[in-house]
Amino acid sequence: MERMETFLKYFNAAMSFIVAAGTVCLVWIAFHPTAAAPVLGAVTMDGDISGWAIALFVLAISMLLTLWSATIVRWYQKWHSPLTKVESQIFKDKIVEVDGNYFHKCKFENITFRYRGGRFFFDRSEIVGTRRVELVPFAAFGAIELFKLCGCLTDEAASSWVSLPPESFK
């Protein structure tokens, strides 16, 4: 796993370098058009697409790859980092962030669980009173487990990936 994270970081750095180098080249070309004319004039396709368009296209693709690789690095770190152990605590009338936590022998009373889509684990914990789940956008992964934990969703319905009828919810 560590090798994948290292690869993604180097890939992100390489894409960032390409974007920086491309930006510097475009700025240089803008201030030295006569020196760049042979290069830009030589790269044409039927006279319709100039070297400028190709250079801007390569720069745009590099920028998109940089953003994509940075997002993948954050996602990878989120799903492969260790969980924080929270042990024997009582949470009452609070909003509790579940992402990244391992709740062991905790008690939750009249609670709102805030879920952002990350990993979590409950072990020998008790949930009493009212319970709500607050989903932050794009938090679909693991939401079914949290609904099952809160007793808001039956096991039969949770094991199915088809659309759920209203009677599946308690």
* Tens-digit pLDDT profile for residues 17-41: 777 777 777 777 666 666 655 555 5
pLDDT value at residue 97? 93
Does position 52 have pLDDT exceeding 50, yes or no?
yes
Residue 127: in which H helix or E strand, if any? strand 126-135
Residue 162: predicted pLDDT: 42
Q: How far is CA 149 from the centre of its chain?
A: 24
Residue 29: alpha-carbon gap to chain centroid: 37
Residue 111 has a pLDDT of 92
Q: Which two tokens stand for residue 77?
A: 């770190």
Decide which of 140 and 95 is more confident: 95
State the pLDDT at residue 34.
63
pLDDT for 47 equals 47
Which residues sit opposite 111 in a β-bridge? 131
Task: For residue 15, count CB atoms less than 10 angstroms from its CB and return exposed for 0-12, middle for 13-18, buried for 19 or more.
Answer: buried
Residue 68's pLDDT is 75
- What confidence tens digit (pLDDT) does each residue in 96-153 have? 999 889 999 999 999 999 888 778 899 999 999 988 888 775 555 466 667 777 777 7
Percent of the chain with pLDDT over 90: 21
Q: Nearest CA to 118 among 86, 80, 92? A: 80
Per-residue pLDDT at 44 exceeds 90: no
Residue whose structure tokens are 């042990």: 87
* Distance linking the first and last C-alpha atoms of the chain: 40
* CA–CA distance, 73 with 160 (Å, rounded to integer): 31
Q: pLDDT confidence of 6, banded at 50, 70, 90?
A: confident
pLDDT given for residue 56 in this prediction: 74
**pTM across the whole model:** 0.47
Name, in order, each residue with C-beta under 8 angstroms of 151's C-beta and a sequence gap of 6 or more: 127, 131, 170
Helix (H) or strand (E) holding 110: strand 107-115
Place of tokens 């022998």: 105
Query: Taking all residues of the chain, what is their mean pLDDT, rounded to a whole number?
Result: 74
Residue-level pLDDT at 108: 96
Distances (CA, A) of 19 to 25, 39, 48, 62, 73: 10, 19, 25, 6, 18
Q: Please tell me whether residue 113 adopts helix, strand or coil conformation.
A: strand
